[in-house]
Amino acid sequence: QVRLVQSGGGSVQTGDSLRLSCAVSGRTSSRYTMAWVRQTPGREREVVAVIGWSGDATYYAASVKGRFTASRDTTDDTIYLQMNSLNPEDTALYYCAARQGGLSATQLTTTRYYTSWGQGTQVTVTS
């Protein structure tokens, strides 16, 4: 089983930056689709960014495009989410998620297709 362990997060002010990390272990394949997902109370989980198995970021939600950057470091099996220009609407519980292989355009933004999840880390942005 793939295990995802997250780090980062915290409380910051509007305009600040944060970097989230997610360490991957227990892989049985080198080809995994990774995603960053966030959830706020009363709302469905939102896929913020997706990283293809090649290591390239392939999708960003419109709400974060231009501000967030997702990346993958294959040398230490870690993915990152660099969050810049944060605002209060970015406040959420952030998860990293994974699925072996690739996903279609529809699947990669649907959380139920991801089979492994990190423990989540809270990001709070105050104005």
Would you state the pLDDT for residue 35? 96
How far apart (Å, rounded) are the C-alpha atoms in residues 117 and 47? 13
How far apart (Å, rounded) are the C-alpha atoms in residues 103 and 52? 9
pLDDT band at 53 (very low <50, low <70, confident <90, very high): confident
What digits encode the pLDDT tens for the residues 4-30? 999 999 999 999 999 999 999 987 777
What DSSP line would sit under 22-67, residue for residue?
EEEE--S-S-EEEEEEEE-TTS--EEEEEE-TTS-EEEE-TTTTTT
How far apart (Å, rounded) are the C-alpha atoms in residues 116 and 51? 14
In this model, does residue 50 exceed pLDDT 90?
yes
